[in-house]
Structure 1
Amino acid sequence: MTNLINVLLGMLGTSEVLAEMIAEVLQKQKLLKIIDLGSGSGGAMPLAAKTLHEIEGMHDVGLVMTDLYPSPESIAKFNQNTEDKISFLETPVDATDIAATPKGLKTMVNSFHYMSPKAARKILESAENSQQPLLIYEMAENKIPVFVWVLLLPL
């Protein structure tokens, strides 16, 4: 299911949009690391990071994916290749406590909508209180025709 979603995100050009937004924030904040919160099994961020590496001055940016419940499969998948500068943190990371997360641009890509209103508020307050940049990206508009979803997604 995740692979199918990633294919659809690729068709929509999500990685290019994300890479451009992330590059702009990284340059303004003078950062070379992205800490993705609530990564699950990876989602759009690995492809976005690879796209980001193609942008001038962004080749050395690292992506550290995190989750409150990191899966051994995701850890193994992303930690086997260090050349792509993408890794998955093995220890749990609580997105509601941004001050305790590794340093870097915090991102939440297609994961913020899973948060309860209380947790979402706590994440935003934590980012503000710790004065750390947080980029939240949600696909707000679904332009994929319903029949494509019906044909491609398992019931």
Structure 2
Amino acid sequence: MRLRLRLFEFEDLPWFPPIIRSGMMDYLRFMISNLGTYRPIAPLLAEGLRRTGQRQLLELGAGSGGGTETVWQALNEAGVKQLRITLTDLYPQPEAWQDIAEHTHGAIGHEEAPVNALAVPRNLRGFRVIFSAFHHFPPDAARAMLRDAVRAGTGIGVFEGAGKHWWEVLLAWTVLPVAQLLLTPFFRPFRLSRLLFTYVLPLIPLCTIWDGTVSLLRLYTPAELQALAREADPEQRFIWQAGKKRHWWGPEVTYLIGWPRSQ
């Protein structure tokens, strides 16, 4: 699917109710974590960490931290020990992040203040990663994010848990909404508001269907990611790779990763 449309997503709107946004993020976290969506990219991240000599990931646009625990586990299994991850977002989710911190015994921490992924404070260090969120940024902003990482001299990995196929849109309209209705009571941390806005006034599932569809239409292809990287790094200070990694049970992860040549 080559079509790319710049439609709006509810979770991007400043006025969108935080309680609905949190419910949507909780769903994404549950699905991405339990499906192991980002496990296939662990070798790429392990290579990036090795190349830059780091043991710290700085996650931008983390939402509720969906998939971060499984990435941490996969990297540990790949031999990356003593790894620490810091979660950040323009709309922080401290309640969800605290739950992750407890489950990982503090290995995954967070920054409570809002963090702009286009201008990351210099005191926040680590190999930068962004999961399931790069499509939110139009080309100018996407280039600015990559340029900021190049300017800071740190590596960056951009990962989207889809391959941009029409069948993925069909899943977003059919199977995934049913799964959301069946699994919502099992999401943690428990929120009464999540049940209210899923079953009584179903704003969470309806907005999730819309945002999920738009996300796929906004997704950058590997060729587009490479082009953004070239434009953000005209002096070729970074080594860049883009492509797709397939999960053993079928789904793909689209990625762009880069690190300084000097390292």
> With structure 2 as the length reference, what TM-score do the two structures score?
0.51
Q: How many residues are paired up?
A: 154
Whichever residue aligns with residue 125 of structure 1, its letter is R
Q: How does 1:26-45 map to 2 (within 5 A)?
A: 26-45=49-68
Whichever residue aligns with residue 151 of structure 1, its letter is V
Partner of 2:128: 106
User: How large is the RMSD of aligned CA atoms in angstroms?
Assistant: 2.5
Partner of 1:55: 78
Query: Unpaired runs of 5+ in structure 1?
Result: none
Once residues 113 and 33 of structure 2 are traced to their aligned partners in structure 1, the CA distance between those partners, rounded to angstroms, is 29
SS state at 1:135 partner: strand
Deviations 1:95-122 (A, max 9, x none): 1114625121000111111123332121
More helix by share: 2
Partner of 2:148: 126
Once residues 148 and 120 of structure 2 are traced to their aligned partners in structure 1, the CA distance between those partners, rounded to angstroms, is 6
Whichever residue aligns with residue 85 of structure 1, its letter is A
SS state at 2:38 partner: helix
Which residue of 4, 13, 28 maps to 1:5? 28
- The answer as to whether partners of 1:35 and 1:64 remain within 8 angstroms in 2 is yes
Partner of 1:152: 179
Cα distance, 1:19 vs structure 2:
1.9
Deviation beyond 3 Å, 4+ runs, structure 1? 1-13, 78-82, 142-145
Greater CA radius of gyration, 1 or 2? Answer: 2
Cα distance, 1:10 vs structure 2:
4.9
SS state at 1:59 partner: coil
Which residue of 72, 87, 91 maps to 2:109? 87
Once residues 30 and 100 of structure 2 are traced to their aligned partners in structure 1, the CA distance between those partners, rounded to angstroms, is 18
- The answer as to whether partners of 1:75 and 1:90 remain within 8 angstroms in 2 is no
Cα distance, 1:45 vs structure 2:
1.5
Distance 1:69 1:75, change over 3 A: same
Which residue of 159, 163, 185 maps to 1:137? 159
Percent identity, aligned pairs only, is 28
Once residues 124 and 72 of structure 2 are traced to their aligned partners in structure 1, the CA distance between those partners, rounded to angstroms, is 17
Cα distance, 1:48 vs structure 2:
0.9
Query: Unpaired runs of 5+ in structure 2?
Result: 1-23, 181-204, 207-263
Are 1:77 and 2:104 an aligned pair?
no
Whichever residue aligns with residue 121 of structure 1, its letter is R
> With structure 1 as the length reference, what TM-score do the two structures score?
0.82
Once residues 21 and 13 of structure 1 are traced to their aligned partners in structure 2, the CA distance between those partners, rounded to angstroms, is 16
Once residues 8 and 59 of structure 1 are traced to their aligned partners in structure 2, the CA distance between those partners, rounded to angstroms, is 26
Deviations 1:54-79 (A, max 9, x none): 222x1211011111221231343234
